[in-house]
Structure 1
Amino acid sequence: MFIHRTHCAFAHDQTQDAFMAFAAMYVEANPVYREIEWLRDWRTFWIESRGNQGNGLSDVGNEEYLTDDGRITRFLEFLRDYRSWVASSGASISWLTDYKPDRLIAFAELMEAVLTGDETHPGVKRTDG
């Protein structure tokens, strides 16, 4: 599950692992995001956590790093730029990894919908807490 505040969405471990790997690459590749200290720290978390989490217990670390509305806004900008990067690099991503770029884009869109509480997204649900 990808959970933030009062919203959540089901997310496969493999999908979250793929996000962490590609998002870490994008942080390093983009000079704007490379300079944001908390995002660099989060990138380190992604690299260290990828593939080391139990089945059904994947955690991209959003609760630890998206600690205020300013960070959430900045991360939403990151997600939009990341989706553009994945779309423009899609052929290379598929060729090198056999991972479908549309799955990476869909997960980034799902994360954005959870973070903004967009219940019109079919994957987003309100949590009990």
Structure 2
Amino acid sequence: MPAHGGSVPREGQPGFLEAGRLAELATDLRPLLEQTARTGATTTWTVIRKRLPALMGLHRDDESVLLWLVDGDRDQSDPLLSALVTVGDRQMHPRFPAIAEQLGVPAGRSSTQHRSTWSYEVLKAHQHWRHRR
């Protein structure tokens, strides 16, 4: 089985993308998430794919890497734009706690702490980007 950067897909699943391609896609995704924050909203991968067709068929692991890359070079005081990607009816994405931890934002150990950290990051993102262009 190839390492994460490989190109052999699993049965019925898309293959992993190269790191350079993921960085390009993160550059495309960031303005969309900034706009989402400015409007005080959240979004889902379904909506993101409609706005950025290049993300169609993106592997779930690559989605997580992409969100990490979007926030990877932010100032440490900046909120996590990746928190704005939700599932269902504005519910925390299940991978948010791991992504937050990787980015140096302690998400806690319990599901209550995870949701609290997520809610706070969403609020901070909305406030931070509300008046920015």
Same fold by TM-score greater than 0.5: no
Return the index of the structure with the highest Cα Rg.
Answer: 2
Structure with higher helix content: 1
Flag the structure with more relative contact order, 1 or 2, with Cα contacts below 8 A and sequence separation at least 6.
1
